[in-house]
Amino acid sequence: MRILSGMRPTGKLHVGNLVGALNNWVKLQEEHECFYFVADWHALTTGYDDTKKLRSNTIEVIKGFVASGVDPEKSVVFVQSAVKQHAELHLIFSMLVSVGRLERIPTYKEIKEEMNYKDLSSVGFLAYPVLQAADILIYMAEGVPVGEDQVCHVELTREIARRFNYYYGEVFPEPQPILSEVPRLPGLDGRKMSKSYNNILELDEPWESVEKKVLKMVTDPARKRRTDPGDPNNCPAWGYHKAFTTSQDELNWVIEGCKTAKIGCVECKRKLLENMKRVLDPIREKYNSFTDNDIMDIAIEGSRKAREVAEETMEKVRKAVNLLF
């Protein structure tokens, strides 16, 4: 199966990206032909007014991919804006979607509300999911690893593929979302992990800082005193245990100890930190071993491979639509 997924370069990747997406990407590359990219044009839809960090953020995101185990020898790792064919396909697709359909996509309203301090009335922001459809279909991808919130974009992609095929002949497959089985990692304050909430752990976060932040992380508010019993299900630290603690005995020790107040939160978090260290140390080490030039080489080579596939699709598309000049 051909797989494609991407992330917007809005800043350094965090541990939530690792648990929620990258671990799954790494697994998928063993069995499938995978395309993983940085959606820098998508970042413009909300970040059009300040692009100073676009290039450095793009490099950090690729660094994060590779540090997490995405292997540029196995997967095609590339940058969206280096493959101009996405923009050409986006233009053609934009004829096949109504404005009303795009206005009704849940993410459109949600992000507008979340970022109400910003003017998001542009054509570009409205058409964000059309560009995403082009990203997916230009590689004839059949599987799209995404979070729950992005399923509506894959559904739109299927509609566009159907409509294109209906008007111009069978060209595109209808891709499926691939949802990760691992639950989303909460932020350090229990809300959704997001840079704008200042509740993240960056992928290359120094260990001393991880320790400090995890020990300060919110826990079940019922455990005001050491002797008060709690419930892991009301505790963000438990979300981290589920992601990083692999031993069933240790997980049972947490549940049992928390509910009976046999263990304290500091003890619980010390155990968690032990398990996080095992995962995060090698990733940070790898992260810091790359220079920006190493990353440029990966991006250039990956984008060259991506262009070949994308151009092949566009030749079919131009022929199907009778754009032959």
Under rule CB under 6 A, how many of the chain's residues touch ligand SF4?
14
* Complex with ligand SF4: residue 223 or 284, whichever CB lies closer: 223
Question: Of ligand TRP, ligand SF4, none, which one sits near residue 158, judging by CB under 5 to 8 A according to partner kind?
Answer: none
Shortest reach from residue 38's CB to ligand SF4, in Å = 35
The answer to whether the beta carbons of residues 213 and 188 sit under 8 Å apart is yes
Question: Of ligand SF4, ligand TRP, none, which one sits near residue 17, judging by CB under 5 to 8 A according to partner kind?
Answer: none
Residues 206-245 close enough to bind ligand SF4 by CB under 6 A: 219-220, 223, 230, 232, 235, 237-238
Shortest reach from residue 232's CB to ligand SF4, in Å = 4
- Written as one string, the DSSP assignment of 116-182 is TTS----HHHHTHHHHHHHHHHTTT-SEEE--GGGHHHHHHHHHHHHHHHHHH-S-----EEE--SS
* Count of positions (residues) in the chain: 325
Does 254 engage in binding with ligand SF4 (CB under 6 A)? Answer: yes
Nearest Cα residue to 171 out of 313, 324, 3? 313
Shortest reach from residue 19's CB to ligand TRP, in Å = 15
Q: For the chain, where are the E strands, in sequence order?
A: 2-7, 33-38, 76-79, 143-145, 176-178
* Complex with ligand SF4: residue 105 or 214, whichever CB lies closer: 214
- Site stretch for ligand TRP (CB under 6 A), options 5-13, 202-210, 295-303, 304-312: 5-13
The answer to whether the beta carbons of residues 203 and 284 sit under 8 Å apart is yes
Residue 309's SS3 state is helix
Nearest Cα residue to 128 out of 179, 94, 88? 94
Under rule CB under 6 A, how many of the chain's residues touch ligand TRP?
13
Nearest Cα residue to 16 out of 142, 141, 134, 183? 183
Does 186 engage in binding with ligand SF4 (CB under 6 A)? Answer: no
Shortest reach from residue 189's CB to ligand SF4, in Å = 14
* The only residue of 8, 12, 14, 269 in contact with ligand TRP, by rule CB under 6 A: 8
* Complex with ligand SF4: residue 177 or 232, whichever CB lies closer: 232
The answer to whether the beta carbons of residues 271 and 254 sit under 8 Å apart is yes
The answer to whether the beta carbons of residues 283 and 18 sit under 8 Å apart is yes
Shortest reach from residue 1's CB to ligand TRP, in Å = 14
Measured in whole angstroms, how far is the alpha carbon of residue 282 from the centre of its chain? 21
The answer to whether the beta carbons of residues 158 and 141 sit under 8 Å apart is no
Shortest reach from residue 244's CB to ligand SF4, in Å = 13
* The only residue of 135, 202, 204, 205 in contact with ligand TRP, by rule CB under 6 A: 135
Residue 228's SS3 state is coil
Shortest reach from residue 47's CB to ligand TRP, in Å = 12
Tell the burial category of 28 from Cβ atoms under 10 Å away from its Cβ (0-12, 13-18, 19+).
Answer: buried
Nearest Cα residue to 197 out of 56, 2, 16? 16
- Site stretch for ligand TRP (CB under 6 A), options 6-14, 27-35, 58-66, 211-219: 6-14
Shortest reach from residue 324's CB to ligand TRP, in Å = 28
Binding site for ligand SF4 (CB under 6 A): 219-220, 223, 230, 232, 235, 237-238, 254, 258, 263, 265, 268-269
Which residues of the chain form contacts with ligand TRP (CB under 6 A)?
Answer: 4-8, 39, 42, 132, 135-136, 144, 146, 150
